[in-house]
Amino acid sequence: MEEPSVSATTPSVSSPDKKALRTRTINMKRGSIRFQKGMTIKANLSATLQGGQVDVRQSVKLPPEEDLNEWLAINTFLFYEIATNVSESCESFCTEESCPAMTAGPSVSYAWADGKKVKKPIELPAPKYCEALFEWVFEQLSDTSLFPQDDETKFPKNFKKVVSTIHKRLFRVYAHIFHSHFSQVQEAGGEAHLNSSFKHLMYFILEFNLVEEDELLPLKNLITLLKEKDAKKT
């Protein structure tokens, strides 16, 4: 990992105000063409999933005549929204006491760095890590030099790299939940939603080669299992 874990004595970053973050996110949604498109995709996907009519592997593919960067942008907004909802559903049992570090199994620990506010990786409790992560993603999505909010402005040349970093970090949220809280999610009746949300993200990542293979290792067995199950359906 490019963000090695460090000692717990390393100073932590301040957490964003959740209410303020959500309010700003709502405001951003209202003015974002791409977020609105992403919500349309989400609504259509949810409806067809419930009816068993959609193959998620096909739903992530670039539609004919759609611009690649536009498609990456639309779905990045969508996956951010879904991941924040999944994370919030785990707030009652993913606490600083239960998860003093952001881990994905006994041998994987993530330390936080964003390259600007926090240049040297620091270890944070999982809830604080996720808060910092979502704050950082929000800042990327609301930066119009990275994610133009009109159809006339061009995407930056490094856009796919930006999107890849976002997806790598969103993947880590799922990796932590599956390794640390899956049984609790099951007890709360959220297993189906967690699985479908992750599978959608997983196939999008694989379709566009957004995350390096070693970053996917914490959920390698789950990825293989989901792919094998889907292969049997065809």
The angle subtended at Cα 47 by Cα 227 and Cα 224, nearest 5°, is 10
Mean pLDDT (whole number) for 80-97: 94
Residue 142 has pLDDT above 80, yes or no: yes
What total number of domains does the chain contain?
1
Q: Write b or e for each residue in 128-163: b if 16 or more Cβ atoms lie within 10 A of its Cβ, otherwise e.
A: bbbbbbbbbbbebbbeeebbbeeeeeebeeebbebb
Q: Could you tell me the residue range of the domain that residue 89 belongs to?
A: 18-233
Residue 55 falls within a domain, yes or no? yes
Residue 118 has pLDDT above 60, yes or no: yes
Residue 89 has pLDDT above 70, yes or no: yes
pLDDT on residue 185: 96
The highest-confidence range among 7-16, 60-69, 127-136, 151-160, by mean pLDDT, is 127-136
The Cα–Cα gap between 65 and 59 comes to: 15
Exposure of 153 in the CB half-sphere (CA atoms within 13 A)? 13
pLDDT on residue 15: 45
Residue 1 falls within a domain, yes or no? no
Q: How confident is the model at residue 39 (pLDDT cuts 50, 70, 90)?
A: low
The angle subtended at Cα 88 by Cα 51 and Cα 181, nearest 5°, is 85
Least confident range from 4-18, 98-112, 138-152, 179-193: namely 4-18
Three-state DSSP class for residue 110: strand
The Cα–Cα gap between 40 and 166 comes to: 21
Residue 4 falls within a domain, yes or no? no
CATH code of the domain in which 85 resides? 1.20.140.30
pLDDT on residue 195: 94
The Cα–Cα gap between 114 and 136 comes to: 7
Mean pLDDT (whole number) for 100-126: 95
Residue 13 has pLDDT above 70, yes or no: no
Residue 52 falls within a domain, yes or no? yes
Instruction: Check residues 141 and 206 and name the one with the higher pLDDT.
Output: 206
Residue 3 falls within a domain, yes or no? no
Mean pLDDT (whole number) for 55-82: 90
Residue 84 has pLDDT above 50, yes or no: yes
The Cα–Cα gap between 34 and 132 comes to: 23
pLDDT on residue 55: 82
Mean pLDDT (whole number) for 82-106: 95
Q: How confident is the model at residue 153 (pLDDT cuts 50, 70, 90)?
A: confident
Residue 229 falls within a domain, yes or no? yes
Residue 13 falls within a domain, yes or no? no
Query: pLDDT averaged over the chain?
Result: 83
User: For 17-33, what is each residue's pLDDT tens digit?
Assistant: 544 444 455 455 544 55
Residue 12 has pLDDT above 80, yes or no: no
pLDDT on residue 54: 65
Residue 9 falls within a domain, yes or no? no
